[in-house]
Amino acid sequence: MARLPYKIINETQCFLAELVPGIKAEPDESNPCHFHVVIAGPQDSPFEGGTFKPELFLPEDYPVAAPEVCFMSKIYHSNVDKLVRICLGILKDNWSPALQIHTVLLSIQALLSAPNSDDPLANDVAEQWKTNEAQAIEIARAWTKLHVINNI
């Protein structure tokens, strides 16, 4: 494996040293550009009680290019599609090399607290959230129980 850039080594050390409530990320033993992540479903959200396990990959041209992140289980969320890809501005057009891994993970945690149905990846879920929020919240809770809590 090629020598790791200082930025990746430094970010990893800083992230492991700083405890961020509800988030845990560790580099894979065989590939330090692949992170195993655990994000607790935020309190008072439909995802509360869930333990979400997104995977984070740093591309070869990181930090110029954004990390790639996807959930490893289904989630009923307007910003996550059926292929469990995440729609988040800082992973796309709003990426900056000044951002860090922990910024990405905090943004994903915030997205779980407040889905953005005005910029959806799953249009049907966003429409449900806009037209009947109470029902969308119940579906999100049910999916969390079915796909995340029982499959930890």
Q: What's the pLDDT score for residue 150?
A: 57
In degrees and rounded to multiples of 5, residue 57 shows phi and psi of: -120, 135
Eight-state DSSP code of residue 40: E
Catalytically active residues are 87
Query: What percentage of residues in the chain have a pLDDT greater than 70?
Result: 96
Tell me the domain boundaries of the chain.
Answer: 6-151
Predicted confidence (pLDDT) at residue 101 exceeds the cutoff of 50? yes
- Is it the case that residue 141 has pLDDT exceeding 60? yes
Cis peptide bond N-terminal to 63, omega within 30:
yes
Instruction: Domain 6-151: state its class.
Output: alpha beta
Tokens found for residue 130: 């806009």
Distance between CA 48 and CA 134 in Å, rounded? 15
Q: Residue type at 138?
A: E
Average per-residue pLDDT for the chain:
90
What is the C-alpha separation between 28 and 79, in angstroms, rounded?
A: 26
Q: What is the pLDDT of residues 27-85, one digit of tens each?
A: 999 998 999 999 999 999 999 999 999 999 999 999 999 999 999 989 999 999 999 99
Say what the pLDDT of residue 152 is. 46
